[in-house]
Structures are given as C-alpha cells and as structure tokens.
Amino acid sequence: MAFELPKLPYGLDSLAPIISKQTLEFHYGKHHQAYVNNLNTLVPGTAFENSSLEDIIKKADGGIFNNAAQVWNHTFYFFSFSPKGVKEPKGALVDAIHKQYGSFPEFKEQFATAATTLFGSGWAWLVKKQDGTLDIVKESNAGNPLRNGLTPILTCDVWEHAYYLDYQNKRPDYVKSLWDILDWEIISKRY
C-alpha cells in the first residue's frame, strides 16, 4: 500500500500569521512529504507492506516506525487547525477537561508547560486513557501515544522545523499562538 500526503483542508496562507505560508511550505510540503516518501521506500517487502499507519506505529521499530509515526503525527497536527474554527472545547471533552484540570485555562497552562519543557524534539499530547480520563503526555522524537494504548485528542509539534521560521528559538511564543488556530469542533470529536 502506498501512503500519500493528505491534502490540507485550508490554503497554505490561511493560518498566517500564526503559521506562515513559508513554514507550511517547509513543514508540510517538505518535512511531512519526506516522511511519506521515506515510508513508501521502507515498507515494500516487509511485514508492514499492507499495514495501516496505526498498525505500523503499534508494531514497528526503527526507521519504519519513525517515518510512519511522523506521517501520522503530522497529519493529526495539521488537521487540528482551521482559520475560523471553534475556539473552545465542546460537549463531553470540555466536561472531561473541567473534571481533570479544573478549568479550560488551567488545562491550557498545563499543556503549554508540557510543550515548552519537552527537551529536544517531540510532541506534547492530550490523550484519553482507557478509563476515559484525560492526561497530558510528552513524547520524544516520533513518539506516539497509540503505542501505549492511549487515544490522541490533541498534539503540539515541538520539533524546531514546526516553528523556527516564524518564532526562531521562542518555543513558548509558538505554543501560545497555536490556541488561536486550533479548531475545537474537530478536536472535541476525537474524544
């Protein structure tokens, strides 16, 4: 099975100034595409030749895992945004956030802290555990919570290529700005 770069549901300039067209051209158009290309080169002739990304993430190691997870992680990340999306969680997700974190602002603070304090490259995730409660986890490099039986709800890419052109070394500014383009209608459905 050949993997493809999914078409974004918005234009490359639609998220500016939070994420510039130039950043999307590099991050989505080059980095994300490279993971897709690498994965398509690595899986033929392996046990993962006809596997879904999720199955590869749960079972593979090394380069196959890294590229599959990065394809999945980036798709999940890019498809959390909308230039005119709903700005706060809804329904069962907002109830779970209030139960776990006390308030939406407190959740945002804890999630931002996780994203800004992750050493090196990786991902901050809001996940649903098997008992339905929420947790914020940090994963280095291509880490993905699917490997641990968790359901991803939201992620923040903290690899430098995600923000360096727009924010240079100011990761906290990047993380803070993302709240303005997250579409909580999409994210709430993941819960």
The verdict on residue 123 lying in a domain is: yes
> Average pLDDT, stretch 13-38?
98
Note the pLDDT of residue 61: 96
Instruction: Name 6's Cβ contacts closer than 8 Å, sequence gap at least 6.
Output: 75, 78, 79
Which ranges constitute the DSSP H helices of 79-151? 91-101, 104-117
What would the pLDDT profile of 146-166 be if each residue is shown by its tens digit? 999 999 999 999 999 999 999
The verdict on residue 165 lying in a domain is: yes
Total-model pTM: 0.96
DSSP 8-class letter at 169: T
Q: Please tell me whether residues 49 and 96 are part of one structural domain.
A: no
The verdict on residue 160 lying in a domain is: yes
CATH number, position 158 = 3.55.40.20
Q: Please tell me whether residues 72 and 144 are part of one structural domain.
A: no
Strand pairing partners for 82? none
Contact 99, 75 (CB under 8 A): no
Cα(182)–Cα(122) distance, rounded to whole angstroms? 19
C-alpha distances (whole Å) from 85 to each of 16, 63, 90 are 14, 35, 12
Q: Please tell me whether residues 125 and 186 are part of one structural domain.
A: yes
Q: Which range marks the domain in which residue 35 is found?
A: 21-78
Q: Please tell me whether residues 95 and 183 are part of one structural domain.
A: yes
- Domain total of the chain: 2
Tokens of 85: 């999306």
> Would you place residue 27 in the very low, low, confident or very high pLDDT band (cuts 50, 70, 90)?
very high
pLDDT at 1 over 80: no
Q: Please tell me whether residues 104 and 177 are part of one structural domain.
A: yes
The verdict on residue 166 lying in a domain is: yes
The verdict on residue 15 lying in a domain is: no
The verdict on residue 83 lying in a domain is: no
Q: Please tell me whether residues 51 and 95 are part of one structural domain.
A: no
Q: Please tell me whether residues 112 and 165 are part of one structural domain.
A: yes
The verdict on residue 40 lying in a domain is: yes
What would the pLDDT profile of 49-97 be if each residue is shown by its tens digit? 999 999 999 999 999 999 999 999 999 999 999 999 999 999 999 999 9
The verdict on residue 86 lying in a domain is: no
